[in-house]
Chain A
Amino acid sequence: MSAPDPESRPRLAPGCRLNEKAQPQRVLLMPERALRLNGPSLEIVERCDGNHTVRQIVTELQKRYSKAEPQKVEEDILGYLARLQEQRALDFE
């Protein structure tokens, strides 16, 4: 699994979307699959809108999770994005 290009803009793939904000548990809905999203995973997926670059997502989350090691935050985000792409939940534009 190669690391995502930092200048690319991840966007949820066709058929993949978040459920409504009002619902108690936020979920990433996909064909025959649903991924529960909490805290960091939700914040990452919310930014996969085709506008945020990978770099911007990392920077924003490093700010929000300022107590965590920035390197670790970056690794976790890149790993998560790569996994979502492999499951075809994401495209990098």
Chain B
Amino acid sequence: MGSAVPNPLALVAEITHRCPLHCVYCSNPLELTKRESELPSAVWVRVLREAAELGVLQADFTGGEPLARPDLTELIRAARSAGLYASLITSGLPLDERRLDELVGAGLDHFQLSFQGAHEQSGKEFSGTETHAQKLRVAGWVKRRRIGLTLNFVIHRQNLDELEDMVRLTEEIGPGRVEFAHVQYYGWAFQNRGLLLPTRDQLNRSLEIIKRAEERLRGRVRVEYVVPDYYGRYPKACMGGWGRKVMLVKPDGSVLPCHAANVLPGMTFENVQAKSLREIWQESEAFQMYRGEDWMPELCRNCDRRSQDFGGCRCQAFLLAHDAGATDPVCSLSPQRTIVNEILAETNAIPQGSQVPPPAGEWLYRANPK
């Protein structure tokens, strides 16, 4: 290969799969890590230090629900001691003001709070848990402390009609940043995709609403809108490219280039308990597998966009076309784009106005690890 591998920029610390919510769109794998397999605190502390030494700038603490780990404060402190920016990606449960103060005292930089809907009812429908009132309380507490606050509204066909209410809620709360993020179809969301993928009409209406929201919120709230790539012409630059910017460490210590890579057949992932982060990043088979251009199909290797989108998402190529080395079928240049077109045709055959949520029995609610 020759040239040195550039350093990663972010470490996603998926510290547990335990979670009080049961979101139907969860991107965790269907096989969740058992509690007793979780890494001990001391190992996470070492991993954070190694990440900083490798050039990582930001640590994102996530899960499951990272608040489910009693040592979270210690881990945030360790991230800051190592020189990392510490972000918490959370549902806001379970949390009280005292614990929030501990996290802030330990150096937490940024609090990203998820919303499953604009109201208690929709929040409960999609997470299987009553959370809305608590989230509003938490947002208020965070605003009174001087740390970053992002609201992350997870969007899909069943709640997209609440978008204007979500914008209104954002204006009321006044975070520094808001992300309206369409569900990505991996893990539990892939199972529930038939109920989650929006119609073209919904998507077009949403683009108008977001445009108006951006104008209203300019200078007050940074607005980001992530749309489903099935409706795009070209694929997303997934994770900024395989093994280019991000490392994800799972609750059991295995290291992956993204949330979903465990679906790829024949891949072994190294574990931080056996190897250093540097060794894993630079040399492991999994990280090397789709780096550079040698692995690319001819279509991508000759394409001007290859340095922009890197041929799209490997996991999506596998999930849709059963070939992890293929061009992402979302790409309009892919011979397998027909797979995506068929899914869209099915979705858009749904009659207008039938947005009544399905009965609870049709959703596959995320389980908890045993």
Contact = CB atoms under 8 A, between A and B. Distances in A.
Do A and B truly interact? yes
Interface of A: 13-17, 19-20, 22-23, 27, 29-32, 34, 85-88
Interface string B333-356: 000000000000000000000000
Given A16-B148, A87-B222, A31 B83 contact: no
Nearest to A20: B83
A15 B58 contact: no
A29 B57 contact: yes
Among all A-B residue pairs, the 4 with the closest Cβ atoms: A15-B148, A88-B222, A29-B85, A15-B110
A80 B137 CA distance: 35
Interface bracket on B: 20 to 34
B87 A19 contact: no
B238 interface: no
B110 A34 contact: no
Contacts of B87: 31-32
B9 interface: yes
Given A15-B109, A32-B150, A34-B85, 14 more contacts: A15-B147, A15-B176, A19-B83, A19-B85, A23-B83, A29-B85, A31-B87, A31-B112, A31-B150, A32-B177, A34-B9, A85-B219, A88-B221, A88-B222
Interface string B131-146: 0000000000000001
Q: A17, A20, A27, A29 — which one has the most chain B CB atoms within 10 A of its CB?
A: A29
A31 B176 contact: yes
A23 B58 CA distance: 14
Contact of A88 (B109, B112, B147, B177): B177
B149 interface: yes
A13 B149 CA distance: 10
B209 to A, nearest CB: 20
B275 interface: no
A32 to B, nearest CB: 8
Contacts of B219: 85-86
A86 B9 contact: no
A93 B176 CA distance: 16
B146 A14 contact: yes
Given A14-B149, A14-B176, A15-B176, A31 B57 contact: no
A6 to B, nearest CB: 18
A87 B83 CA distance: 23
B57 A30 contact: no
B149 A27 contact: no
B218 interface: yes
Interface string B301-334: 0000000000000000000000000000000000
B217 to A, nearest CB: 10
Contacts of B112: 31
B149 A15 contact: yes
A87 B146 CA distance: 17
A19 B57 contact: yes
B58 A14 contact: no
Interface in B126-180: 146-150, 176-177
Given A19-B83, A86-B218, A87-B222, A31 B146 contact: no
A93 B299 CA distance: 53
A22 B83 CA distance: 10
B127 to A, nearest CB: 22
Nearest to B85: A29
Contacts of A22: 83
Contacts of B177: 31-32, 88
Contacts of B149: 14-15
22 contacts: A13-B148, A14-B146, A15-B149, A15-B176, A17-B109, A19-B83, A19-B85, A20-B83, A22-B83, A29-B57, A30-B148, A31-B110, A31-B112, A31-B148, A34-B9, A34-B85, A86-B218, A86-B219, A88-B177, A88-B220, A88-B221, A88-B222
Contacts of A20: 83
Contacts of A13: 148, 176
A27 B85 CA distance: 11
Contacts of A86: 218-219
A57 B58 CA distance: 29
Contact of B58 (A16, A34, A85, A88): A34
B65 to A, nearest CB: 19
